[in-house]
């Protein structure tokens, strides 16, 4: 069946931090008297993030989501800094860090993003985002000039489910009355994006910018522009 909609993951696919995560964590921590090397913090972030529970809150009322998102990140950041306890003024540190990553200038678009979105829109396709992110994403994408291209931005914290759970893909499809066979999803995680989308019935495509997954179980691109010929006419 013809592809009528294309969905994108966000971090690692459309956007990336303007500087390494560990560097940002270290720069802000130093202001509060905690000195840790950026590589150590980058590694701690990777380990703790991978071990964390999904950023999703099934059944939570919409009015509670902002607080739940903040608490989720606060717990994660606390775990990251456990080897360097005690961390005095941790609450103040977390507030500054959380607010920093809400700023569009803390992020940057991958170079080909706007060109790709324009080309896809020119083909009359529905465009959306399906991301394991929180409510800050909407302001980030808008601030970077990408938000205007999307018909829908579905984030796990508000959808109640996180990729690779097929229910977050179903939620995005339902907003446009689409059949899974009519949609593609592109992301940088083989498990969450490629396999998650395939399991939900969509066409999954892996963006593998650094060539780390040469044996991926599905279509693989190194640049988002390469997805266009994969979608057919």
pLDDT at res. 104: 98
Q: Are residues 112 and 85 in the same domain?
A: no
- On whether both 92 and 119 belong to a single domain, the answer is no
Claim to verify: residue 47 and residue 120 sit in the same structural domain:
no
- Report whether pLDDT(170) > 80: yes
Same domain for 116 and 200, yes or no, is yes
Domain boundary among 77, 103, 129: 103
Residue 200 has pLDDT above 70, yes or no: yes
177 shares its domain with 146: yes
Q: Are residues 143 and 226 in the same domain?
A: yes
Same domain, 203 and 161: yes
> Which of 103, 123, 144 is the last residue before a domain boundary?
103
| Same domain flag for 74 and 187 | no
Report pTM. Answer: 0.95
- Judged against a pLDDT cut of 70, whether residue 1 lies above it is answered with no
- 207 half-sphere exposure, CB direction, 13 A CA radius: 24
Q: What is the CATH number of the domain that holds 133?
A: 3.40.50.1000
For residues 111 and 96, membership in a common domain is answered with: no
CATH number, domain of 41, equals: 1.10.150
Are both 133 and 223 inside the same structural domain? yes
Under the banding of pLDDT at 50, 70 and 90, the label for residue 226 is very high
70 lies in the same domain as 176: no
- Mean pLDDT over 24-39 rounds to 96
Cβ atoms of 220 and 43 closer than 8 Å: no
Number of residues that make up the chain: 233
Query: Partners of 126 in the beta sheet?
Result: 5
Helix (H) or strand (E) holding 145: none
Domain enclosing residue 50, as ranges: 19-103
Domain count of the chain? 2
Confidence of residue 150 (pLDDT cuts 50, 70, 90): very high
- Asked which of 76, 103, 130 is the last residue of a domain, the reply is 103
Task: Return the sign of the alpha-carbon dihedral for residues 56, 57, 58, 61.
Answer: negative
Same domain for 37 and 88, yes or no, is yes
Which pLDDT band holds residue 232 (cuts at 50, 70, 90)? confident
Quickly state the pLDDT bin for 213 (edges 50, 70, 90). confident
3-state secondary structure of 5: strand
- Alpha carbon distance, N-terminus to C-terminus of the chain: 11
Share of the chain above pLDDT 70, in %: 99
């Amino acid at each position: 069946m013809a592809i009528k909609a294309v969905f994108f993951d966000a971090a690692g696919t459309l956007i990336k931090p303007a500087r390494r995560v560990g560097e940002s964590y270290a720069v802000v921590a130093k202001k509060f008297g905690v000195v840790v090397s950026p590589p150590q913090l980058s590694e701690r972030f990777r380990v703790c993030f991978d071990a964390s529970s999904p950023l999703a809150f099934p059944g939570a009322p919409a009015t509670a989501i902002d607080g739940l998102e903040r608490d989720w990140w606060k717990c994660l950041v606390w775990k990251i800094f456990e080897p360097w306890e005690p961390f005095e003024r941790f609450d103040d540190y977390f507030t500054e860090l959380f607010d920093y990553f809400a700023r569009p200038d803390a992020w940057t678009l991958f170079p080909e993003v706007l060109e790709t979105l324009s080309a896809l829109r020119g083909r009359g396709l529905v465009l959306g985002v399906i991301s394991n992110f929180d409510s800050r994403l909407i302001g980030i994408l808008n601030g970077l000039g990408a938000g205007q291209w999307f018909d829908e931005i579905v984030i796990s914290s508000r959808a109640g489910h996180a990729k690779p759970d097929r229910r977050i893909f179903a939620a995005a499809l339902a907003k446009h009355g689409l059949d899974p066979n009519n949609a593609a999803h592109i992301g940088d995680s083989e498990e969450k994006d490629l396999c998650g989308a395939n399991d939900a019935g969509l066409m999954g495509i892996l963006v593998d910018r650094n060539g780390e997954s040469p044996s991926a179980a599905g279509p693989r691109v190194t640049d988002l522009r390469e997805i266009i010929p994969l979608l057919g006419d």
